[in-house]
Every structure is written in C-alpha cells, then in structure tokens.
Amino acid sequence: MYETIKYQVSENIGYVTINRPKAMNALNGQVLDELYAAFTEAAADEQVKAVILTGEGKAFVAGADIAQMNQLDAIEGRALIAKGHKVMNYMESIEKPFIAAVNGFALGGGCELAMACDIRIASEKAKFGQPEVNLGIIPGFGGTQRLPRLVGKGMAKYMIMTAEMIGAEEACRIGLVEKVVAPEELIPACEKLAQTIMSKAPIAIGIAKTTINNGYDLDMRAASALEIEAFASTFASQDKTEGMTAFLEKKEAKFQNK
C-alpha cells in the first residue's frame, strides 16, 4: 500500500521505516504524504501504543529531496514545506509516544523529523547536521525552532551556521539525542523503551506528552495553569484509581486506558 515507507504493527508498536535507501531516504512529497497517512493509522489504531520511526539502510533521512526541491518554484516549495510542518506538528499532537531510532545520517529535514519525535535513540553510526546553508537555504521543517529548544540557542546557531555534521556521542552530549547504543542494539533499545512507556498508564502518558508540548512555549504562569487542568483530568480516569489502589495494596497496576 505504501511505496516509500514500510508500516507494520507488532506487539503494540507501530514500526514506520522510511524506505528510499538509494536516495538516503530523502523526504519528497510522497514520503511526507505516506508518513502522514501511516501516523494517522497509528493514531487511530487502539492496538498501537507507541511508534518507532527509523530509516532503511545507512541513513535515517538525509534531508529533503534536493532533486525534487531543485525543480520547485516558490509557490510549490511553500506547499512542500507546509506539508513537512503538517507532518511534524501532527506527530507532536498525537497522544502516543514517538521514538526516533536514528540509524544513520539525520541531516536537514531528517534531523528535523527526529526532533519532532518525543525521544531519540541513536546508533553509534548516526550523524546529525543542518546543512541547509550549503544549499543557500535555511532549515525549513522546524529546525530553526525545534533545535534551539532542544540544545540551546548557541549550539543551534553553531550547527545551522557551520552546517557541521556531528556524531552520535556529541549529539547526546548537547541534548539532541537521549541515548546512544551499538547499531545492533538500536531497535531492541527502542523496543525496550517503548515497552517501559507502554507499561505505564496510557492516559497519563498521552496527557504528559501534550502538556509538555503545549506548555513549552507559554510563560510559566500560563503553563502552570495548563498543568493544573491537565493534572485534574487524570483524576477523572479509572487508571488513576487503579494505579493508586495497586500501590497501596502492594500489587501491580493493570491499566485499562480508561
């Protein structure tokens, strides 16, 4: 059904793999459309409780498709860029955890796609960069905004203005990824992380994700008000009763997503 990505569900995890290895999984309009469709499937599927996003071959995603971008006029370019924003904003709005399994090059739009995930685990072979200024453009899929929010303004400017590629360990040191593992450990480490998160109360996980995302750009007072209401809504869930009762009865909680 999909041509540029692979999507499968196994043991409550939706696996999305960008599958254009000959073009280093570069993002063209079709990839973005198919990612949006797969994320919509994952969001609607009650069996899916977490998503792992990765790339086939030696790249995670080596950026927007330069061959396609080169053909576009300003109006068409604007449409492509709007499509990218739509996909990445959507990932942040879905109340399920998205884990980026960064297997190789995550450049330009690829680094931006990884940043739109909730948590990033990188293979020791991964490389990150925002090389847009080499092409006479700037990051266009949220990189000027998400990168400084993750690594600080100075480091974001360093990466964007130099176009320098950094390795996985450096990416971890600056806060761009949360963990670095051996290549063969990448998917197992992401699965273990997904299983840990899936063992918690799903409603609380979803509300935590959206409260962090929605509150991040507000001032502290408005963000605190948001947290109060979000917190209160967890008290309406049966999972809250289950979690607290199980603790007091020294039992394991069995969450129902209710």
Least separation, in Å, of the C-beta of 45 and ligand DAK? 29
d(CA 19, CA 109): 15
Give the active site residue among 132, 164, 227, 249. Answer: 132
Q: In the annotation, is 132 catalytic? A: yes
Residue with Cβ nearer ligand DAK (81 or 87): 81
Least separation, in Å, of the C-beta of 133 and ligand DAK? 9
Residue with Cβ nearer ligand DAK (85 or 149): 85
Q: Residue 185: CB partners within 8 Å, gap ≥ 6?
A: none
Residue with Cβ nearer ligand DAK (49 or 127): 127
Task: Count other C-beta atoms under 10 Å from residue 170's C-beta.
Answer: 16
d(CA 163, CA 196): 35
Question: Distance of CA 61 to CAs 21, 128, 177, 228, Å?
Answer: 9, 10, 15, 38
Q: In the annotation, is 112 catalytic? A: yes
Residues near ligand DAK, by CB under 6 A:
23-24, 26, 59, 62-67, 69, 72, 77, 80-81, 84, 105, 107-109, 131-132, 134-135, 137, 140-141
Residue among 86, 2, 5 nearest 52 (CA): 5
Least separation, in Å, of the C-beta of 137 and ligand DAK? 5
Which amino acids are annotated catalytic? 112, 132
